[in-house]
Amino acid sequence: MSEHPRHKASNPDTPPAAGVPGDERTGARPGRTGRLNMRPVNLLLLIPLIGTLPPMFYNSVSPTIGGMPFFYWYQLLWIPISVAVTYVVYRATRSDR
């Protein structure tokens, strides 16, 4: 029975696939350490979480904007805020990659 090429056991004598950097034997890629990035700027990502996680802070009808209750527009307001915070953290940690 012939084996499918995708399921063949890796052979240490076989060169890695073209365009894939890394160690041929382990498949490890450069720049990946497997550790968490614990830079203080990453704490900014908690802002959208804290702003939207506890609904008791925004579970009300008034004030309304264009007839939309506060409960809905408050959550929609966090979408661009979350995008902006994520972008800031991305730019700040981009050199880590």
Residue 11 included in any domain: no
Looking at the predicted structure, is the pLDDT value of residue 96 above 90?
no
Of 17-31, 58-72, 77-91, the one with minimum mean pLDDT is 17-31
Residue 39 included in any domain: yes
Q: Which pair of structure tokens corresponds to residue 73?
A: 């527009």
Residue 57 included in any domain: yes
The reply to whether the predicted model has a pTM over 0.85 is no
Residue 60 included in any domain: yes
* Residue numbers of the domain that contains 75: 35-96
Residue 79 included in any domain: yes
Looking at the predicted structure, is the pLDDT value of residue 58 above 60?
yes
- Whether the CB-CB separation of 94 and 42 falls below 8 Å is answered with no
**Is the torsion defined by CA of 59, 80, 88, 28 positive or negative?**
positive
pLDDT band at 1 (very low <50, low <70, confident <90, very high): low
More confident residue, 27 or 79: 79
Count of domains observed in the chain: 1
Q: How many whole angstroms separate alpha carbon 64 and alpha carbon 48?
A: 21
Residue 53 included in any domain: yes
- Whether the CB-CB separation of 16 and 24 falls below 8 Å is answered with yes
